Amino acid sequence: MLRTRFCDTFGVRHPIVQGGMQWVGRAELVSAVAESGALGMLTALTQPTPEALGAEIDRCRERTDHPFGVNLTILPSINPPPYDEYRRAIIESGVRIVETAGANPAEHIPEFHAAGVKVLHKCTSVRHAVKAQEAGVDAVSIDGFECAGHPGEDDVPGLVLIPAAAERLSIPMVACGGFADARGLVSALALGADGITMGTRFLCTREAPVHRRIKEAVVAASERETELIFRPLRNTARVASNSVSREVVGILDDGGSFEDVRDLVAGARGRAVFEQGDPEHGIWSSGMVQGLIHDIPSVAEVVDRIVTGARETITERLARVVPA
Ligand SMILES: Cc1cc2nc3c(=O)[nH]c(=O)nc-3n(C[C@H](O)[C@H](O)[C@H](O)COP(=O)(O)O)c2cc1C
C-alpha cells in the first residue's frame, strides 16, 4: 500500500489514474481499473450523445462497486459537442469524479461542485495548473512533453515540469506522461507529485477494448517512434509513428493547412485502427513511454506491479542509499 493526499481526496486505494482515452476509455477498461483500486476515467466524447454516456456509466457500474470518473475533454472545435449536456449527464448519473482536459474548466466547476463532483484538471503548463487551482479544482494532473495526446506547445518534460508545478500548487497533483512502472511512480513522488496518471500503459492491457495487434504494435515500438502532428497549427498531438502521421507532418511542414490533412486525421480512421487492428490505417495516440512497455498484462497486474515495486524501491533500494 502507498497512501498520498490523492488517495484521500478521491477515495481510492492507489495513487494511480487511468487518464481519459478517446475510443479506449470504455466500461471494460475503466471497471477493471476501478476493481484494481486505481482511478479509471470513462471518456465522455467516445460516446456519441450524453444519453449514451449515461448508459456507458450504467454499464461500468454493473461491473464494479468501486469509484470511477469521467473524462471531459474540452477542445477548440468548429462544431463543439454539447459540453453542458455531457456535464449534466455526468452529474445526473451520480458519478462523483471528473477529469477535465483541453481548456480552462472554470465554467464547469460551479455545477460540478454543487453536485458534489470532484474535479481533477489535466493541463500541460505550470501557469495553467495555477489558474486551475485558482478556479477551484480539487487536484491537478500535470502532463509532461513525453505524453501521448496533447502535450501543449512549451515542450517542458516531466523532470522539470513536475517539480516546477509542485513548487506552485497547494492542492494534490498527479504527474502524467511517460509513466509505466514502479520506477516512474517513485520518481513522481520524489519530484513532489501525489501520484501518477497513465494512458499508453493502460491502453496496452488485456482489458483495454482495443484490437490485440495495436497493443502488439505498442510493445514493438521504441521511445523514438512517435510523431508530433499539428505543430505548425499550435495544436500539437503526440501520436504513434506510421505512414499516415508522417504524411501529416510532411504536409503541414511544407505549409499545408488543416484542410489538406483533414481526411488523413479523421477520427473515424483512428477509431477503425483500434477496432480493426491495422496500425497504419489512421492517426492514433501513443506516448514515448511505449519504449518501456514490453508486455500486455491485465490491469490488476499492472497496478499491483507498480504499487508493490514502488514500495520495495522506497523501503529497500532507496533506503540502502542512506548509510546507517
Ligand atoms: C489512445 C489515447 C487516447 C487519448 N485520448 C485522450 C482524450 O480523449 N482526452 C484526454 O484528456 N487525454 C487523452 N489521452 C491522454 C491520456 O489521458 C494521458 O494524458 C496520456 O496518455 C499520458 O501520457 P502516457 O501515455 O505517457 O501515459 C489519450 C491517450 C491515449 C494513449
* pLDDT per position as a tens digit, 167-208: 999 999 999 999 999 999 999 999 999 999 999 999 999 999
**Residue 268 forms part of a structural domain:** no
Protein residue closest via CA to atom 12 of ligand 1? 20
100 Cβ inside 6 Å of ligand 1:
no
Query: Is 295 inside a domain boundary?
Result: no
Q: Which pLDDT belongs to residue 79?
A: 83
Give whole-number Cα distances, 265 to 56, 215, 230, 248, 295, in Å: 26, 20, 10, 8, 28
Residue 258 lies in a domain: no
- Residue 91 Cα to ligand 1 midpoint, Å, equals 23
Res 242 pLDDT > 80: yes
CATH number of the domain where residue 35 is located: 3.20.20.70
Domain that holds residue 174: 5-209
Position 324 pLDDT exceeds 90:
no
Residue 320 lies in a domain: no
Mean pLDDT, residues 233-250: 97
Element (H, E) at 229: strand 226-229
Asked if residue 283 is part of any domain, the answer here is no
Mean pLDDT of 107-135: 98
Pocket of ligand 1 contains residue 286 by CB under 6 Å: yes
How many domains is the chain built from? 1
Give the cell for residue 1.
500500500
How far, in Å, CA of 128 to CA of 149, rounded?
A: 17
Place of cell 503541414: 252
Q: Tell me the CA–centroid distance for residue 285 and ligand 1, in Å.
A: 7
* Residue among 284, 292, 277 at smallest CA distance from 216: 277
Distance 19 CA to ligand 1 centre (A): 6
The pLDDT of 276-281, averaged and rounded, is 98
Distance of alpha carbon 200 from the chain centroid: 8
How many Cα atoms within 13 Å fall on the side-chain side of residue 207? 22
Report whether residue 124 contacts ligand 1, using a CB cutoff of 6 Å: no
